[in-house]
Amino acid sequence: MTNMKKMIPTTLLMLAVCMSSFTQGYETLESEYRSNGSLMHGLLERPKQSLSQFSAVIYSGRKEIAYGIVVQETGYVITKASEVTESSDLKLRIGATQYEPVQIVATDPAWDVCLLKTDATGLKVVHFADNGQVEQGTWVVTNGATTRRERWPQLGIISANAREIRAEGGAVLGIEIKEEKSGLEIGEIPEKSGAYLAGLRKGDKIIKIADQKITKRDDVAEIMKDRRVGEKITVVYLRKDKQVTAEVELMGRADTFGAQQTRNDTMSGDYSKRRSGFPRVLQHDVQGNRATVGGPLLDLEGRCIGMNIARANRAESFAIPVEELRDVISRLLTQAMKNKADATVAPR
């Protein structure tokens, strides 16, 4: 047992307290009657049907790593990008059928969504609700447990205001800047940072950021203030006396450099690696884990009101509202079409 405010010194005592109060006689509700017991799931026929039709299970080898949403009948599925991009052997399952190979064909870093493609025809595509204006206290359903044939629902409610989740620690280029006599030089630069991906390297000298000349570290902080994840910024730098211009896509500080675990993190089980820096989300209280993210957020009718994009902690999960999700999907499909000619129909 964990005391939720001052945890460390009293952890053991807490356990003793709970044990004693519960051995002295208590009543308990059998698991099938609980909020997410089997009897509650029996009431969720329509969401369950939707999950089996248009949610996908994403595997890396044999391990379930995320869920996804079918957005086109020819094998296009969206999922949470940061959960799948590091896996090489992606497979997916829709209903009882398994599909492989699976390729990542487009990515939206701001929303952390990517588009997967596999060879398939005649898939049922996501059925959207008219809007994602769902009041707090409204029932919602997500992907719960999975078997080879079945998708089980998991129940919760909308639990807070829809809002922006600013990037933990702000949006960054992803470089450590050293003030040298010769100018501002790049020190550490993580390989997954926006700056590295745009071609910048250790030792490069920064001259301009977003068209503004910079001479000291504070200038950079000033320019980066109030920026958003996914925003693109022009960086001019010197490498071996040659001037180079690059366009850097910003990422969250915690996502780039890593973050210290807070006490709330330690009591949250496994949470999403990327859980901040979203332009607008719905918040719900569905119990899950890191691998239950990426699928649809449904209403009791089985209509999609959003896409689960992060399990932030034990009590808070985020979903992209359907309005923004439609835009994300059409952008991803357009991006994929640029590369391949076979994506034709826009999602309904």
Partner 1 sequence: MKTLLLVFFLGLLSLAFAQDQPSDPKRLPVNDKKVPAGVEDMLAIEAALKSVLPAARNATVCLELGQGSGSGVIISADGLILTAAHVAGGVAKDITAILADGRKVKCESLGLNSETDSAMVKILGKGPFPFVEVDKSDRTRLGDWVFSLGHSGGYDKDRGAGVRLGRLVKVADSTSQSDCTLIGGDSGGPLFDMAGRLIGIHSRVGTNLQQNMHVPIREFVRHWDDLVAGKFIGEGPFAEKPKKGTGFLGVGTEDSGDGEIRVTKIGRESVAETAGLKVGDFIVAIDGKKLKDKEVMQKCLKDKAADEKITILLMREGKEKEITLRLGAR
Q: How far is the CB of 138 from partner 1 (least distance, A)?
A: 6
Q: Applying CB under 8 A, does 263 fall inside the site for partner 1?
A: yes
Q: How far is the CB of 214 from partner 1 (least distance, A)?
A: 32
CA dihedral 275, 279, 284, 287 (to 10 degrees): -20
Q: In the structure encoding, which two tokens stand for residue 149, read together?
A: 């044939």
- Which helix (H) or strand (E) covers residue 48, if one does? helix 45-54
Distance CA 52, CA 48 (A): 6
Phi, psi of 79 (to 5 degrees): -150, 180
Q: Which stretch binds partner 1 (CB under 8 A): 212-220, 244-252, 263-271, 339-347?
A: 263-271
Q: In the structure encoding, which two tokens stand for residue 240, read together?
A: 């071996």
Among 223, 287, 335, 337, binds partner 1 (CB under 8 A): 287
Site for partner 1 in 32-61 (CB under 8 A): 32-37, 39-40, 43
Q: How far is the CB of 35 from partner 1 (least distance, A)?
A: 5
Q: How far is the CB of 69 from partner 1 (least distance, A)?
A: 23
Letter for the amino acid at 181?
A: K
Give the three-class secondary structure for 191.
coil
Contacts with partner 1, 109-148, as mask; x by CB under 8 A: --------------------------xxxxx---------
Residues in the chain: 348
Count of chain residues binding partner 1 (CB under 8 A) = 54
Site for partner 1 in 306-345 (CB under 8 A): 313-316
Are residues 299 and 138 in contact, defined by beta-carbon separation less than 8 angstroms? Answer: yes
Decide whether 38 or 243 has the Cβ nearer to partner 1: 38
Contacts with partner 1, 153-172, as mask; x by CB under 8 A: ---xx-xxx-xx--------
The sign of the torsion formed by the CA atoms of 277, 283, 288, 292 equals: negative
Are residues 294 and 252 in contact, defined by beta-carbon separation less than 8 angstroms? Answer: no
Among 8, 24, 130, 240, binds partner 1 (CB under 8 A): 24
Are residues 109 and 256 in contact, defined by beta-carbon separation less than 8 angstroms? Answer: no
Letter for the amino acid at 189?
A: I
Q: How far is the CB of 212 from partner 1 (least distance, A)?
A: 30
Neighbours of 302 (CB within 10 A): 21
Q: Applying CB under 8 A, does 1 fall inside the site for partner 1?
A: yes
* Residues near partner 1, by CB under 8 A: 1-7, 10, 13-14, 17-18, 21-22, 24-29, 32-37, 39-40, 43, 135-139, 156-157, 159-161, 163-164, 263-264, 267-269, 283, 285, 287, 300, 313-316
